[in-house]
């Protein structure tokens, strides 16, 4: 029986998010103090050596991101920025909301350390407009952190200063993509940018910008506190540390669970989430949300890590796990997912705008006729393949993920 | 509507656009952005009306037409849809006698759908203004709507 290992959720439920003194009683902001009294290069090295990978979905090395942002060459560089991507919108994902609602100060502390490491004095939290609870908790937390001197000028008498501001999204899934987020944060429509340049080089207002997910920031104070070696001892060799999994659908105890990486899907579904509702049989799990992958029972014992899942044609993504019992229809679920992509395509680039519409059109045609579903799946794949090759941003490149995995695991049941 | 309040809160810089639009919409009793609002924002941020309109129109949380006092946002993510979400939408439609995007005659409710609201462990869910309602079923919908109408 597996147990939870908590890093990002280590304080969840242990203090009052509206009262900073209860956070300080837990040792809060001690790690930020330790970090601000160390050399910025050392912090970057620690995070790099700890092999912390972005918890938003892509799994990019956080240390590398910091290094690139730190080393960004810019003659007219007036300002560097740190941005927290709190535009959580991947279907089935709610880990960032839990952190922000239960432990907003951990996020602030993580951002403070990151900002110091790269030399940024201004930071933003871009949060989706629908997360009203998270927004109000963060407003209170930021105000209190400022009053206590953890934000503002001359923090811990080191001369370092940082201001963190909240920016609201307004209902666009695409704005969770980092370059689109920048456009939105600058006050524009959520249209993606062409990359390169990457944000580390030219980000917000054309300045070097570090963008990390909420959960990623929540790991930083822990690494500062316990050191690289300890952090590396948790999880797997290539993906150390923990991950919050949000399990939903046909399980008895849906919810959020943080475990060491390398945990198996079977342990998550049967040990932590209590197994399938009404003791039905397991049919599928969708890993990583809509821009994720379907897997069947043969993946139940594969250790969850970015690389190990990739070998099985699956992704870890945001940590979302949507579980389907054996009476659920793969076709119906695929329909919902493709409907979602069509709705969220911004329309800027033709392959995605036309492609997402075409995918849904094909599904609609098949819905009411008993056409050859295998042929349909191949058509969908061909369409998604060219979208993947030609679309401007990850949205148009996403439909291929679920479709390919359906071909691999559920072709006969589509 | 207190626009002077906004100019004291937000500097006249383009990156404040979304926060300002949110504030104006929240201050409006009919939960929308009027063309007067958009003109004011364009003038305040020293940009064109069309660029403000473009932003307001792009984001699904903003409305350019008057809405009800209570905005119902039913989650239609793949997961909520699988756990009976469509039935929830049907229930609300029947009870309020409106379609998606419509406002009731008494201007009390507007029915909308939303992408994943991030409460998937308690699906199906909806929001009414700032409040989240979870584990919905027909009886619960009835009770929630009645408590607001009373």
Considering only CB atoms, B79 lies closest to which of A92, A173, A186, namely A92
Q: Quote the pLDDT of residue A74.
A: 59
Q: Are residues A268 and A164 both part of a single domain? A: no
Query: Is A12 contained in some domain?
Result: no
Distance to chain B for A37, nearest Cα, Å: 33
Q: Quote the pLDDT of residue A77.
A: 65
The residue among A301 and B5 whose pLDDT is bigger is A301
B9-40 pLDDT, tens digit each: 999 999 999 999 999 999 999 999 999 999 99
Question: For residue A353, with 0-12 CB atoms within 10 Å meaning exposed, 13-18 middle and 19 or more buried, which class applies?
Answer: middle
Q: Which helix (H) or strand (E) holds B44?
A: helix B35-44
Q: Are residues A225 and A125 both part of a single domain? A: yes
Partners of B50 on chain A (C-beta within 8 Å) are none
pLDDT band at B150 (very low <50, low <70, confident <90, very high): confident
Q: Are residues A67 and A199 both part of a single domain? A: yes
Q: Does A170 sit within 8 Å of B130, measured CB to CB?
A: no
Report ipTM for this prediction. 0.96
Q: Are residues A320 and A335 both part of a single domain? A: no
Q: Which helix (H) or strand (E) holds A25?
A: helix A20-25
Query: Is A15 contained in some domain?
Result: no
Q: Tell me the percentage of chain B whose pLDDT exceeds 90.
A: 94
Query: Is A1 contained in some domain?
Result: no
Distance to chain A for B95, nearest Cα, Å: 25
Partners of A91 on chain B (C-beta within 8 Å) are 77-79, 115-116, 120
Query: Is A11 contained in some domain?
Result: no
Residue A366: CATH number of its domain? 1.20.1440.230
Q: Are residues A190 and A114 both part of a single domain? A: yes
Q: Quote the pLDDT of residue B135.
A: 97
Sequence-distant (6+) residues with CB within 8 A of A89 are A128, A173, A175, A176, B115, B116, B118
Q: Does B17 sit within 8 Å of A190, measured CB to CB?
A: no
Q: Quote the pLDDT of residue A90.
A: 95
Considering only CB atoms, A130 lies closest to which of B62, B122, B127, namely B127
Interior/surface letters A229-264, b for 16+ CB within 10 angstroms, e for the rest: eebbebbbeebbbbbbbbbbbbbeebbbbbbbbbbb
Q: Quote the pLDDT of residue A76.
A: 57
Q: Are residues A311 and A361 both part of a single domain? A: no
Q: Are residues A200 and A82 both part of a single domain? A: yes
Q: Quote the pLDDT of residue A361.
A: 96
Residue A279: CATH number of its domain? 3.10.20.600
In the stretch 11-30 of chain B, residues with CB closer than 8 A to chain A read 13-19, 21-22
Please tell me if residue B101 touches chain A, with a CB cutoff of 8 Å: no
Residue A82 — left, alpha, or beta (φ > 0 → left; ψ -120 to 50 → alpha)? beta
Q: Quote the pLDDT of residue A56.
A: 87
Quote the number of domains for chain A.
3
Q: Are residues A336 and A306 both part of a single domain? A: no
Please tell me if residue B120 touches chain A, with a CB cutoff of 8 Å: yes
B71-113 pLDDT, tens digit each: 999 999 999 999 999 999 999 999 999 999 999 999 999 999 9
Q: Are residues A114 and A154 both part of a single domain? A: yes
Tokens 């948790």 found at: A234
Q: How far apart are CA B58 and CA B52, in angstroms?
A: 10
Q: Quote the pLDDT of residue A66.
A: 78
Q: Answer with the one of A199, A232, A265 that is the final residue of a domain.
A: A232
pLDDT surpasses 60 at B1: no
Q: Are residues A312 and A339 both part of a single domain? A: no
Chunked into runs of 10 residues, chain A (414 residues) has average pLDDT values of 94 97 97 97 94 87 81 70 96 97 98 96 97 97 98 96 97 94 96 92 94 97 97 93 97 98 96 96 96 97 91 94 97 96 95 97 88 91 97 95 97 92
Q: What domain range is A368 assigned to?
A: 330-413
Please tell me if residue B42 touches chain A, with a CB cutoff of 8 Å: no
Residue A115: CATH number of its domain? 3.40.50.11540
Partners of A255 on chain B (C-beta within 8 Å) are 121
Please tell me if residue A130 touches chain B, with a CB cutoff of 8 Å: yes
Q: Are residues A306 and A344 both part of a single domain? A: no
Q: Does B120 sit within 8 Å of A254, measured CB to CB?
A: yes
pLDDT band at B2 (very low <50, low <70, confident <90, very high): low
Instruction: Give the CA radius of gyration of chain A.
Output: 21
Considering only CB atoms, B15 lies closest to which of A169, A187, A190, namely A187
Q: What is the largest CA-CA distance in chain A?
A: 72
Partners of A190 on chain B (C-beta within 8 Å) are 58-59
Q: Does A171 sit within 8 Å of B55, measured CB to CB?
A: no
Q: Are residues A41 and A187 both part of a single domain? A: yes
Query: Is A189 contained in some domain?
Result: yes
User: Which of B9, B77, B122 would best serve as a mutation to test chain A binding (most A beta carbons within 10 A)?
Assistant: B77
Q: Answer with the one of A279, A299, A325 that is the final residue of a domain.
A: A325
Question: Within its chain, how far is the Cα of A283 from the centroid?
Answer: 26
Distance to chain A for B89, nearest Cα, Å: 15
Q: Quote the pLDDT of residue A167.
A: 98
Q: Where are the domains of chain B?
A: 3-58, 70-149
Query: Is A194 contained in some domain?
Result: yes
Q: Answer with the one of A189, A208, A232 that is the final residue of a domain.
A: A232
Q: Quote the pLDDT of residue A61.
A: 84
Query: Is A6 contained in some domain?
Result: no
Q: Does A290 sit within 8 Å of B117, measured CB to CB?
A: no
Listing DSSP states for A35-89 in one string gives HHTS-HHHHHHHHHHTT-B-TTTT--BHHHHHHHHHH---TT----EEEEEE---
Q: What angle do CA A90, A101, B82 make, to 5 degrees?
A: 35
| CATH architecture, domain B70-149 | 3-Layer(aba) Sandwich (3.40)
């Amino acid at each position: 029986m597996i147990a939870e290992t908590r890093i990002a959720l280590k304080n969840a439920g242990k203090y009052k998010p509206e009262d900073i003194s209860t956070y300080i009683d837990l040792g809060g902001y001690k790690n930020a103090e330790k970090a601000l009294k160390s050399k910025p290069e050392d912090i970057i090295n620690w995070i790099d050596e700890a092999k912390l990978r972005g918890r938003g979905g892509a799994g990019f090395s956080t240390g590398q991101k910091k290094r690139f942002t730190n080393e960004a060459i810019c003659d007219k560089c007036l300002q560097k920025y740190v941005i927290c991507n709190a535009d959580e919108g991947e279907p089935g994902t709610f880990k960032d909301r839990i952190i922000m609602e239960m432990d907003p100060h951990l996020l602030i502390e993580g951002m403070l350390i990151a900002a110091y490491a790269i030399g940024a004095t201004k930071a933003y939290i871009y949060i989706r407009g629908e997360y009203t609870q998270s927004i109000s908790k963060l407003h209170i937390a930021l105000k209190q952190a400022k009053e206590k001197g953890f934000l503002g000028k001359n923090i811990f008498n080191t001369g370092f200063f940082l201001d963190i501001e909240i920016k609201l999204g307004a209902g666009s899934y695409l704005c969770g993509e980092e370059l689109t987020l920048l456009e939105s944060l600058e006050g524009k429509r959520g249209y993606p940018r062409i990359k390169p340049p990457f944000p580390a080089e030219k980000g917000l207002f054309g300045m070097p910008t570090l963008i990390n997910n909420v959960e990623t920031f929540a790991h930083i104070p822990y690494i500062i506190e316990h050191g690289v070696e300890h952090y590396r001892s948790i999880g797997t060799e290539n993906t150390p540390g923990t991950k919050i999994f949000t399990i939903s659908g046909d399980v008895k105890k849906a919810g959020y669970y943080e475990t060491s990486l390398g945990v198996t899907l079977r342990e998550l579904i049967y040990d932590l989430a209590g197994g399938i509702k009404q003791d039905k049989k397991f049919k599928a799990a969708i890993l990583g949300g809509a821009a994720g992958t379907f897997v069947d029972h043969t993946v139940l014992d594969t250790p969850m890590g970015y690389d190990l899942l990739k070998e099985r044609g699956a992704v870890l993504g945001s940590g979302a796990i949507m579980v389907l019992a054996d009476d659920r229809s793969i076709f119906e679920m695929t329909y919902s997912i493709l409907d979602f992509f069509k709705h969220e395509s911004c329309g800027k680039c033709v392959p995605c705008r036309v492609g997402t519409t075409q995918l849904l059109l094909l599904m609609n045609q098949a819905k009411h006729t008993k056409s050859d579903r295998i042929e349909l799946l191949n058509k969908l794949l061909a369409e998604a393949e060219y979208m993947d090759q030609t679309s401007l941003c990850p949205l148009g490149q996403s439909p291929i993920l679920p479709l390919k995995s359906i071909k691999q695991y559920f072709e006969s049941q589509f | 509507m207190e626009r002077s309040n906004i100019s004291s809160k937000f500097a006249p810089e383009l990156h404040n656009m979304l926060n300002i639009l949110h504030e104006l919409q929240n201050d409006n009793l009919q939960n929308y952005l009027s063309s007067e609002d958009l003109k004011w924002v364009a003038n305040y941020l020293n940009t064109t009306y069309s660029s403000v309109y473009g932003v307001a129109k792009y984001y699904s949380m903003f409305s350019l037409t008057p809405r009800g006092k209570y905005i119902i946002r039913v989650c239609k993510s793949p997961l909520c849809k699988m756990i009976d979400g469509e039935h929830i939408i049907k229930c609300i439609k029947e009870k309020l006698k409106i379609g998606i995007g419509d406002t009731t005659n008494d201007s009390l409710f507007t029915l909308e759908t939303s992408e994943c609201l991030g409460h998937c462990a308690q699906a199906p869910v909806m929001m009414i203004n700032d409040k989240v309602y979870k584990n919905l079923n027909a009886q619960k919908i009835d009770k929630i709507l009645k408590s607001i109408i009373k």
